[in-house]
Structure 1
Amino acid sequence: MSIRGQAYVMGAFEHPTRDAPDKTTAQLHAESARGALRDAGLTFDDVDGYFCAGDAPGFGGLSMIDYMGLRNVRHVDSTEIGGSSYIAHVGHAAQAIAAGRCKVALITLAGRPRNGGGRGGPPQARPGTLSDGAPEQGFESIYGGSTHNTYGMCAMRHMHEYGTTSEQLAWIKVAASHHAQWNEHAFLKDVVTVEQVLNSRMIADPLHLLDCCVVTDGGGALVVVAPEVARSLNRPKVRVLGAGEAPKGQMGGDLDLTCSGAVWSGPAAFAEAGVTPSDIKYASIYDSFTITVLMQIEDLGFCAKGQGGRFVADGNLISGVGKLPFNTDGGGLCNNHPTNRGGITKVIEAVRQLRGEAHPKVQVANCDLAVAHGTGGSLGTRHGAATLILEREG
């Protein structure tokens, strides 16, 4: 069953908080939900489908439905594929709507990693002992693998295979900072140069501090509705055209560190939407690290594998300057990476662009087609990938 044109994103809200010592995670979920519903012109009583992931506290969807007083929910989805979950949830919501399961789907994310409320990992196995944790722990955790060094491993391999340079990666941060300067809520608002990125301290060779995303509290929410509901609302209509998702793991050691799950999720989404990468006016690309962006741009088909370094260099991702404007809110690299899961913000900014509601300094002219793509998990080990194609209607 195709979801092309079967649902609309009519509400989008990004919580303005970046440091929340005085709010609970549940509060951030509820406040984000209220903002997205108000944006759509709907209320909590209109919601009959609820979608969340592993950041939802307590019993996840069950706890949040109760906490927010959602009395009419008849469809629940708590799919967990890391930071890409919320992009996948838009596709899942469209599927549920097309199947008649619900008509108003609410998607929320929230967390407080800056204040000790981040999502914890599984228990670590001690050498020589058995563990009921993740099955890969005894093979990987004992060697000290972390988010930073596994992404650094991907960057180093890409450099080895294709001649990618640290200067080229730095241009991704530069582009994000040029956009973040216009975002009043951005965690980092200062424009940076390639030299400043390269001179920031090394975190996991070859990734410097400024190659890494920010760590923020906060949240966000989306409202996806059936066509008949969309027609009743006095808001710009953003139509869901296509979606794709895919996992990528170690595959028994047969692993290419230079590509992501986007090589599968991207083509599926573009095929369903009936468009190609060359048709896209704006791209929201998951940016946990600069290398994440470069690899996903290649894997989504915006350039050939190995050409990403040249593609992102010299301002090619800066709105009004380059060929592919990306993350015009500043992205995870500068604006917001709430609870270490930035997928929902990618959809939110894509919606802003398609509505013409981005900051005037970064608004893409005639923006009628956008892609939002996310990676959840670890690029260097196992992760989920989700791609979403959105279109402005009318």
Structure 2
Amino acid sequence: MRRDRPPRPVAVGDVVTVYSEALRVWTASQVTGIDTTARCAAVLELDWSGPEPSSVADLGDDVQPLRLKHHSWGGTLSHCNHGWVLPRSFRVIGSLPPLVTAPSRSYSAAWGRGEQLARQRRWDSGDHEDWNAPYALTRTADELAEEYTRNGVRPDVKHLTVRGITRLDCTRLVAAFPNLTRLCLSGNLGTLASAAALNRLPRLQELTIHDLFGMEPTDCLLPRQVPDVENVSLYGIPADYAAAMRKTWRPHVQDGVELEISGARKPEWIGANAANPLRDWDGRKHITRTSYRKAVAQYKATREAFRAEVAGDEQRGDLLEIGRAFGAAFNALDRRTGFIETVEREELFDALDFLVEEAQEAAGRDLSTARAALVEGVDSIRDW
């Protein structure tokens, strides 16, 4: 497979069309740029919908870009960079001179399927309420259990997101939601049981699994069972399952399957990192191995110092100093490689909450005052 052009042929100026579940008709977009280094395609959504077009001529004589005026967009073009793999459900129907030539500064993983056009159409009709797709459902794992009991089978649900999974049985999920086209599952070292059952979702197009384990190579999603799949995104999953999925789906990239698999973990890694709230930094693209090791070492040092302090004669000044040491250590780390961005900053404060909750459980008493002093110390010195 050549790396200097998209695996599924697409060029600047190409107009592509796809069926929109949001509008229940077809929509269209134009490729306005291709970045071979970043392996991205700039895609401009068009202000058009209708029956499936066979050529550009079916779009009419006045093809216009979609300008977003709903909510606070203010007339911004719906123009975004995506991975350059043209999803298999999209079809090239011809070419036009690019309607815009300026590059886009926006990025999104998924190519648009008319959701923004649906929002704009509702806004133009006078409906200014937030639009939530009626076929999309987001639940925590606990809420999903209630959903099973309350509603039984939900054939109307096409997009399902389940967060906070401790343990999830895919057999039961598939039985309750047989018509899924998009499925996103995430946990925190949770267990995904009977993952092979996902092969019984014949309409599935997109599968995302983050930070879940328990899957075996025999649980691999199979192209002959789910022929419409065009996006597989896996992170923080068992290494042998990751290898099986990569081997199975890599040949289909040229057919329009976006494949992203990273953070493959061996069993010993899972055991060693169960109590490490920074474990997701391991292998993150912009965090070096050295920065990760030093970050974990500093977290452990802070954890031990905090636990020792709250177990003895707790002093606010000492807690402030523990926080300052934490903040200063990450100042130094960030100066070297500049890896602490918004997400990492939030994760560092989540890590502090994690160590406080651990210590609180061990001490059997409320440590909110100690936490406040720890965070105050961090905030007094941090520059990230």
TM-score, normalising length: structure 2: 0.23
Higher relative contact order (CA 8 A, sep 6+): 1
TM-score, normalising length: structure 1: 0.22
Higher strand proportion, which one?
A: 2
Q: Whose Rg is larger?
A: 2
